[in-house]
Structure formats: structure tokens, C-alpha cells
Amino acid sequence: MDAWVKRRVGAPPGLFAAEAAGLRWLRVPSGTAVVDVLDVTDDAISLARVTPVASTLAAAEAFGESLARTHSAGATAFGAPPDGFTGQCYIADLPLPTDPGPTWGVFFANQRVLHFASLAEAELGTSGIRVMRALADRLLAGDFDDDAPPARLHGDLWAGNVLYGPEGAVLIDPSAHGGHRLTDLAMLSLFGTPHLSGVFKSYEREAPNLPDDWRSLLPLHQVYPLLVHTVLFGGGYASEAVAAARRYI
């Protein structure tokens, strides 16, 4: 099998082990295809090569349906790591908290909003931190909780991590954990992906119990990746994160 090797001497401890665990966990019957893991070491991961092809509306719609089935495979809790994995999880190079939370709001407030806001405190400034704390208060109060169980998330689902091969969409490079399914949809929406409206339309058909106002909640879930980008890249991401959070306080 033709392999593609990502190698990085001095990678954060367990970075590639976490990636491999996430990929294996995301492989579920009838879910979105996942790249095969061939080998893992401390400083490299070997993956089966995906031959890229141009995306089509039909392939994007099939991706939306299969993603809903991946999410429906579930997780043990909001914030939980991939089943059986006890190492450190990551988002990019940043350690990712994966402590199971009792509700989505408690998990998202503590382990996503407040955690990454604290890492981005210098960029957010006093007023930005105040906005994040106000949002966390609403999350902790359960204002955005619903009845959906924890979903099996890719966790870093921007367009670059969805490859289209001859047989359709293939997931790579996850930050896998248990969370709310809208978090994956929000990241697709934030950074764009081919035929996004087709992805969403077919996802809705496969997951008809989405709340009627789910699209209006996407910026809430985008606060997390925007904070991560603030930590990694600074710049205008801080103001974008604050603007997204301010909509919900």
C-alpha cells in the first residue's frame, strides 16, 4: 500500500499516537471514510495515501450523510477522549483537555472557552476576557444544552482535513473527542468547504432531530476554533472570537 509519512523530530509527546487513536475511533460502519494508519512512532505517522480528485456536489452530499452517522456513533461523555486512549490529546500542537463533563455546557465552558481564553489572555485583553467569562456563565447555567447525546467528533473539521478520493470523502488529522455535533459543522462553516450547502442539506436528512435554529448556534461553537487560532496565530482572530461570543451574552 502506498504510504504518506508525516515526520516531525521533537513532536510534542504522544502527538502522533493521539492522531492514530482518533483516526481509529472515527472509523465506524457507514460513517465517513477514515485514512488507514499504517505505522506510528514518537516522531512520525505513516498513512495510506489518498489519491485526490475534485469534489462534486454528489460527493459532498454523501459526506454530509456519512458524517451524521459518524457523529451518531457517540462517545462516553462530553469531553471524553477516543475510547481506550489514555494519552494526551491535541488540537494542532496545543494540549487538548479531555476530562469528561456532566453536560455539554459545563464541558464547553471549562475546557474550551475558559481554557483557551486563558491561553489567549494577552490577545483578548481585559474586555475580551470579560466577554468570554460572560459566555461561560451562560454555558455553565445550561442555557445552550439540549437533549442530544455526546457525538463522536473529528474535532478539527476544516476543509483541509476532508480529502476527496475516488470513493468519496476521507477524514485525516483529527482532534477527536466527545462533544456536540454542531462543533464539527461550525468548523466546516467557519473556514468553508466545497458544496457546504449540500453537506448541510444531506446532514439534516440523516439527522432530522437537529434543532430548528441550529444554524444560528454555529457561531457559538466557532468561539472554540477562533480561540485556538488566536493562541496559535494571534492577529485578527481575537476580535473574531470576541464578536462570536458576544452574540450569546
CA nearest to 181, candidates 159, 212, 214, 205 = 214
End-to-end CA distance of the chain: 51
Q: Which residue of the set 2, 137, 143, 156 is catalytic?
A: 156
Contact by Cβ (8 Å): 28, 73? yes
What percent helix, strand, coil does the chain show, rounded to 5?
Answer: 50, 15, 35
- Catalytic annotation on 156? yes
The Cα 234–Cα 6 span in angstroms is: 26
Per-residue burial over 141-172, b if 16 or more Cβ lie within 10 Å, else e, is eeebeeebebbbbbbbbeeebbbbeeebbbbb
Residues with active-site annotation? 156
